[in-house]
């Protein structure tokens, strides 16, 4: 993530006030993934909309999880609402 953050420094001014969401999938524990994404969004002045996290031990396990699917649908709706509100 640090490499990503460093490489996006030149575009940070263009990210201000844009909505952002976090999605993290891990085998054992999410750890700092979401916290790091929130820090990045704060540094760039982006608006944190929400997050979805999932634990998966095998490939495609998270994509088959109905609860994860429902959480992603809800998060997507929140993001769309945020984008529409920004246009108005």
**Backbone phi, psi, residue 68, to 5°:** -65, -40
Mean pLDDT across 50-68:
95
Cβ neighbors of 7 (< 8 A, separation 6 or more) are none
Q: Which residue has the tokens 């088959």?
A: 64
Q: What is the pLDDT of residues 9-50, one digit of tens each?
A: 899 999 999 999 999 999 988 888 899 999 999 999 999 999
Q: What's the gap between Cα 66 and its chain centre?
A: 19
Which H/E stretch holds residue 22?
A: strand 19-26
Alpha-carbon distance 18 to 86, whole Å? 9
């Amino acid at each position: 993530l640090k490499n990503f953050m460093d490489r996006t420094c030149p575009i940070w001014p263009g990210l201000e006030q844009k909505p952002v969401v976090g999605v993290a999938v891990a085998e054992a524990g999410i750890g700092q993934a979401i916290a790091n994404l929130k820090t990045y969004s704060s540094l760039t002045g982006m608006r944190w909309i929400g997050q979805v996290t999932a634990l998966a031990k095998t490939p495609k396990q998270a994509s088959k999880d109905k609860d994860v699917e429902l959480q992603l649908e809800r998060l997507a709706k929140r993001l769309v609402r945020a984008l529409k509100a920004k246009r108005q």
